[in-house]
């Protein structure tokens, strides 16, 4: 099943020039990079997800299907997705492209019934490690190269919540899955069209000519649309106190489709009240 997010495009490794600036730092840490790219990626016709900015790669993920007995993963599973390369170009950091690419990886893996997804990273990649651990990846061992192997189990059974665990933590660790049992509260959250398309560009109506700024042209991807976790500011007097509660975002009257419809499911983490602009900041 194809899963795609705005700004993330499918590409074959052989269409990506090895001279692209994004690979410079990879060569520094991996002297054999060019041979690996030519033999293991280009020749093997590996598929990639890429984000393009100004004709150069802003981010790239190279993926590979593996099976038991032919994998470095230690978590048992019959269908395994290996992320061979996960890289954001240094000049494009700060707009959450790593989060966008991880979102692409996990939705694809869950939708296509993979049992395990894994990747390797060096200990100094602290930002990536924090992101992986937040969404349920576990370091299973350290490879002979010094790389840490991070693995995540993907399950299709009903999500079970431990006695010491909140509904939110269960959803976070099992993303993109969430809890929808009778004990979970549900809230409707109205949102105006302009804010909706910034926060949730996945379902923006791209057939409209005035939406070219959502297609990777011009200003490129917007930070709020790239993120998994989002902050929503409003003046509603409501108070939500159950981490993990389900939020149904209702898009009000709008000029673009879909109008007046529940479009997006969110999982509540926390809320706070601000009494001044300074507190809000």
Over residues 38-81, the pLDDT tens digits come to 999 999 999 999 998 878 899 999 999 999 999 999 999 999 99
Instruction: Note whether residue 147 is domain-resident.
Output: yes
Domain count, the chain: 2
C-alpha span between 264 and 255 (Å, rounded): 18
Q: Are 20 and 126 found together in one domain?
A: yes
Over residues 78-131, the pLDDT tens digits come to 999 999 999 999 888 888 999 999 999 999 999 999 999 999 999 999 999 999
Cβ atoms 38, 19 nearer than 8 A: no
Q: Are 17 and 133 found together in one domain?
A: yes
The model carries a pTM of 0.90
Closest CA to 266 of 234, 223, 214, 227: 227
Q: Does position 156 have pLDDT exceeding 80, yes or no? A: yes
DSSP characters for 189-208?
A: EEE-HHHHHHH-GGG--TTS
Over residues 199-246, the pLDDT tens digits come to 998 876 654 433 333 333 334 567 888 999 998 888 877 789 999 999
Find the CATH number of the domain harbouring 127. 3.40.630.30
Instruction: Note whether residue 177 is domain-resident.
Output: no
Q: Are 132 and 221 found together in one domain?
A: no
Q: Which helix (H) or strand (E) holds 119?
A: strand 116-121
**What is the CA angle 195-101-38, rounded to 5?**
150
Domain that holds residue 65: 9-153
Q: How far is CA 170 from CA 20, 163, 175, 231, in A?
A: 39, 11, 8, 20
| Mean pLDDT, all residues of the chain | 89
């Amino acid at each position: 099943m194809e899963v795609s997010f705005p700004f993330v495009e499918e590409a074959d490794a052989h269409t990506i020039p090895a001279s692209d600036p994004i690979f410079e730092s990879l060569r520094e840490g991996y002297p054999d990079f060019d041979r690996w790219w030519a033999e293991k990626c280009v020749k093997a016709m590996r598929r990639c997800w890429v984000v393009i900015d100004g004709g150069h790669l802003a981010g790239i993920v190279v993926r590979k299907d593996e099976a038991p007995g032919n994998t470095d993963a230690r978590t048992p599973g019959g269908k395994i997705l290996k992320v061979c390369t996960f890289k954001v170009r240094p000049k494009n950091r700060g707009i959450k492209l790593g989060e966008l690419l991880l979102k692409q990886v996990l939705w694809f893996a869950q939708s296509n019934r993979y049992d395990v997804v894994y990747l390797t990273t060096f200990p100094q990649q602290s930002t990536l490690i924090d992101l992986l651990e937040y969404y349920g990846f576990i370091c299973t061992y350290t490879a002979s190269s010094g790389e840490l192997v991070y693995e995540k189990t993907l399950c299709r059974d009903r999500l079970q919540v431990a006695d010491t665990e909140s509904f939110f933590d269960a959803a976070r660790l099992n993303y993109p899955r969430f809890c929808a049992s009778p004990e979970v509260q549900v809230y409707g959250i109205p949102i105006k069209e302009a804010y909706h398309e910034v926060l949730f560009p996945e379902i923006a109506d791209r057939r409209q000519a005035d939406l070219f700024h959502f297609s990777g042209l011009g200003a490129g991807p917007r930070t709020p649309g790239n993120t998994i976790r989002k902050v929503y500011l409003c003046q509603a007097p409501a108070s939500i106190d159950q981490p993990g509660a389900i939020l149904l975002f209702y898009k009000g009257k709008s000029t673009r489709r879909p109008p007046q419809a529940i479009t997006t499911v969110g999982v509540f983490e926390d809320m706070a009240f601000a009494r001044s602009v300074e507190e809000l900041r």
